[in-house]
């Protein structure tokens, strides 16, 4: 009961507010509170400790000490920056690098050529599948029978299933069961779509193989020029 009374009494108390900067000190800015002073004091103390540690390190430094990193670092605008060292490549090493580049590009070009040949063979198979391979020949005795001939009526099937070379049910079968399998038109569309996809892939690989051939030729030309320069330099040394 007493605790509840104290809580109720506190809720009716006047809100405590810290005083602001007096009017005659407004030009000095906001009045610093204790939390602001604590942050400022901690920051100042940290900086003083850091400076003290640096002074101690400078006093205890050995003037004769040497680190190998000193040879790779230079002082720029008061900051130590690592020097950028240029790798020295001899003409023999450069020639070897060019040879390896040519071999690698030639290997990639040969791989592309093999993939192109495989794609061409697959496209031949697709073209072969897309064509009507078999023919059904009907024989008649008179010209009148030829003019009146209707293939759907003769085969006793629906006109939509005439182009099918297999699984061609009769009208009696269709009245009893549903058509199984895909129609010829759907199959031809699927083959045409697959063929177009393969042709696009083939075109891209042919262009890639041409670019690799050009790059290999350029690198080989540079390698030959470098070889001539090396030989010319050897002849000068011998003379």
**Does the predicted model carry a pTM greater than 0.95?**
no
pLDDT digit string, tens, across residues 34-45: 889 999 999 999
User: pLDDT at position 107, please?
Assistant: 87
What are 207's strand-pairing partners? none
Greatest alpha-carbon span in the chain: 128
105 CB neighbour count, 10 Å cutoff? 20
Greater confidence, 92 or 51? 51
CB 98 within 8 A of CB 202: no
Closest CA to 196 of 100, 130, 106: 130
Closest CA to 212 of 118, 107, 119: 107
Check whether 164 has a pLDDT greater than 90.
Answer: no
User: pLDDT at position 48, please?
Assistant: 97
User: pLDDT at position 129, please?
Assistant: 47
Helices in the chain by DSSP H: which ranges? 2-11, 34-59, 91-130, 143-147, 151-155, 171-176, 184-238
Averaged over 2-9, what is the pLDDT? 77
- Mean pLDDT lowest among 109-118, 153-162, 213-222: 153-162
What are 76's strand-pairing partners? 79
Q: How confident is the model at residue 55 (pLDDT cuts 50, 70, 90)?
A: very high
For tokens 């293939």, name the residue.
Answer: 151
Both tokens of residue 155? 């085969």
- Sign of torsion, CA 154 158 160 161? negative
Cα(213)–Cα(107) distance, integer angstroms = 11
For tokens 């569309």, name the residue.
Answer: 189
Is residue 209 packed enough to be buried (19+ CB in 10 Å), middle (13-18) or exposed (0-12)? middle
DSSP, residue by residue, 170-231: -HHHHHHSPPPS--HHHHHHHHHHHHHHHHHHHHHHHHHHHHHHHHHHHHHHHHHHHHHHHH
Both tokens of residue 23? 């009017």
Cα(117)–Cα(124) distance, integer angstroms = 11
3-class state of residue 155 by DSSP: helix
């Amino acid at each position: 009961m007493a605790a509840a009374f104290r809580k109720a009494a506190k809720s009716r108390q006047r809100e405590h507010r810290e005083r602001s900067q007096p009017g005659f000190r407004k030009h000095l800015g906001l009045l610093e509170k204790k939390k602001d002073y604590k942050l400022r004091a901690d920051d100042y103390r940290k900086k003083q400790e850091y400076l003290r540690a640096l002074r101690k390190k400078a006093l205890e430094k050995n003037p004769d000490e040497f680190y190998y990193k000193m040879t790779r670092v230079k002082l720029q605008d008061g900051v130590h920056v690592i020097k950028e060292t240029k790798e020295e490549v001899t003409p023999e090493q450069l020639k070897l690098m060019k040879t390896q580049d040519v071999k690698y590009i030639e290997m990639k070009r040969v791989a592309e050529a093999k993939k192109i040949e495989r794609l061409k063979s697959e496209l031949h198979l697709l073209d072969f599948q897309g064509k009507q391979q078999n023919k059904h020949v009907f024989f008649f005795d008179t010209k009148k029978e030829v003019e009146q001939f209707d293939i759907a009526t003769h085969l006793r099937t629906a006109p939509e299933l005439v182009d099918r070379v297999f699984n061609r049910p009769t009208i009696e079968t269709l009245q009893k069961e549903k058509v199984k399998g895909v129609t010829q038109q759907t199959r031809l569309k699927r083959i045409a779509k697959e063929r177009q996809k393969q042709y696009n892939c083939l075109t891209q690989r042919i262009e890639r193989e041409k670019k690799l051939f050009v790059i290999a030729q350029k690198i080989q030309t540079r390698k030959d020029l470098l070889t001539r320069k090396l030989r010319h330099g050897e002849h000068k040394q011998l003379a």
